[in-house]
């Protein structure tokens, strides 16, 4: 009996020594040292971060994930889940804690008739319309707006500057965009600008290339897409603001977002600009860099990594 007790005491002392060795001991031991300047994993909480099925969303999700991990939050990433129709339900139910959203499109999804256009108007409307389980945090200045874009040749040939100008030739054109593009925008395009198209074609992430190749003549291209410049495209102006403000805005499951999560995401939004988003997307789309690598570089440069 005494021999057994001695063995147990020796073992316990050895484990204690391991646990105080600067974080190299048992990973489940809450006394293990946390990264400098961050909370322990237990104190930082947990978060499941989702992203839509396109590169920019994956990039933003990685920025959020790496910044939160640096603050001691245990993070799980679920990338390229799908469209907003799928992702929204998952964050609403708490299956996801955080999604990098675009405030204008989020409002159009939950309240299609809402006419809010500016960032402040959109965010105020979201506070009223979101269910109690959800909230948006601080919006970034970074904005990635929808556009209807054409080639420079098409714009010149048809004297196209605005979406209003497009009405005179739209019936001869095939329009492309994400699979859900027609459902979301067909009625509004017709009502606001009188736009009717020869055909709607789902082109997804290949939209900018499809315009260049004349597979389609006009398409829904996001304004931070580097292919606007690479393919010599012209985003048509939207004088009636059918496309609302599209600021990058974290959507969170309210009860899953602790103070560490909130302050970290707010710090990201404070430094994220449209120009930095374009530069990062150029590295991904043109240089073929991995989103996680580009995210890490941006975080380090801005003192957030």
Is the domain spanning 148-235 CATH 3.30.70.660? The answer is no
Question: Is residue 121 pLDDT above 70, yes or no?
Answer: yes
Q: What is the pLDDT of residue 22?
A: 31
Please, which pLDDT band fits residue 193 given cuts at 50, 70 and 90?
Answer: very high
Question: Is residue 163 pLDDT above 80, yes or no?
Answer: yes
Question: Is residue 14 pLDDT above 50, yes or no?
Answer: no
Type and span of the H or E element at 265: helix 259-271
Q: Can you give the residue ranges of every domain in the chain?
A: 44-144+245-301, 148-235
Q: What's the mean pLDDT when you consider all of the chain? A: 87
Please, which pLDDT band fits residue 5 given cuts at 50, 70 and 90?
Answer: very low
Which whole number is the average pLDDT over 219-246? 94
Percentage of residues in the chain having pLDDT higher than 90: 80
Q: What is the pLDDT of residue 180?
A: 87
Fold of 44-144+245-301: D-Maltodextrin-Binding Protein; domain 2 (3.40.190)
Please, which pLDDT band fits residue 202 given cuts at 50, 70 and 90?
Answer: very high
Burial class (CB in 10 A: 0-12, 13-18, 19+), 5: exposed
Please, which pLDDT band fits residue 282 given cuts at 50, 70 and 90?
Answer: very high
Q: What is the dihedral of CA 84, 247, 67, 44, to 10 degrees?
A: -70
The DSSP string of 42-104 is HHH-EEEEEEESSHHHHHHHHHHHHHHHHTT-EEEEEEEEE-HHHHHHHHHTTS-SEEEEEHH
Dump pLDDT digits (tens) for 124-134.
Answer: 999 999 999 99
Question: Is residue 41 pLDDT above 60, yes or no?
Answer: no
CA distance 298 to 292: 10
Let me know how long the chain is.
305
Which whole number is the average pLDDT over 13-21? 33
Question: Is residue 91 pLDDT above 60, yes or no?
Answer: yes
The reply to whether 44-144+245-301 and 148-235 are identical in fold is: yes
Task: With CA atoms as reference, report the closest residue to 171 among 198, 199, 148, 194.
Answer: 198
Please, which pLDDT band fits residue 23 given cuts at 50, 70 and 90?
Answer: very low
Structure token pair of residue 295 = 């995210």
Q: Which of the pair, 26 or 290, is modelled with greater confidence?
A: 290
Which whole number is the average pLDDT over 31-55? 63
Q: What is the pLDDT of residue 43?
A: 53
Structure token pair of residue 131 = 């269910």
**Burial per residue of 247-261, b for 16 or more beta-carbon CB atoms within 10 angstroms, e otherwise:** bbbbbbbeebbbebb
């Amino acid at each position: 009996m005494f021999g057994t007790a001695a063995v147990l005491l020796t073992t316990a002392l050895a484990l204690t020594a391991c646990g105080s060795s600067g974080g190299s001991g048992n990973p489940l031991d809450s006394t293990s040292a946390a990264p400098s300047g961050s909370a322990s994993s237990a104190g930082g909480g947990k978060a499941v971060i989702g992203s839509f099925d396109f590169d920019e969303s994956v990039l933003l999700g990685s920025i959020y994930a790496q910044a939160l991990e640096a603050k001691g939050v245990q993070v799980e990433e679920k990338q390229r889940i799908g469209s907003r129709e799928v992702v929204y339900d998952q964050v609403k139910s708490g299956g996801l804690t955080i999604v990098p959203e675009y405030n204008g499109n989020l409002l159009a999804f939950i309240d299609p008739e809402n006419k809010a256009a500016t960032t402040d108007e959109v965010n105020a409307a979201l506070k009223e319309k979101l269910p109690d389980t959800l909230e948006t945090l601080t919006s970034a200045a970074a904005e990635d707006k929808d556009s209807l874009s054409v080639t420079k040749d098409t714009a010149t040939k048809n004297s196209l500057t605005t979406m209003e100008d497009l009405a005179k030739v739209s019936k001869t054109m095939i329009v492309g965009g994400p699979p859900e593009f027609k459902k979301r925008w067909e009625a509004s395009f017709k009502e606001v600008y009188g736009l009717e198209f020869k055909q709607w074609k789902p082109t997804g992430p290949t939209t900018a290339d499809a315009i260049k190749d004349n597979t389609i003549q006009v398409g829904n291209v996001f304004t931070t897409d580097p292919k606007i410049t690479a393919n010599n495209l012209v985003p048509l102006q939207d004088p009636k603001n059918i496309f609302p403000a599209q600021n990058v805005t974290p959507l969170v499951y309210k009860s899953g977002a602790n103070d560490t999560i909130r302050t970290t995401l707010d710090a990201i939004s404070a430094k994220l600009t449209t120009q930095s988003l374009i530069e990062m997307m150029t590295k991904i789309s043109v240089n073929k860099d991995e989103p996680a690598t580009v995210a890490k570089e941006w975080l380090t440069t801005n003192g957030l990594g």
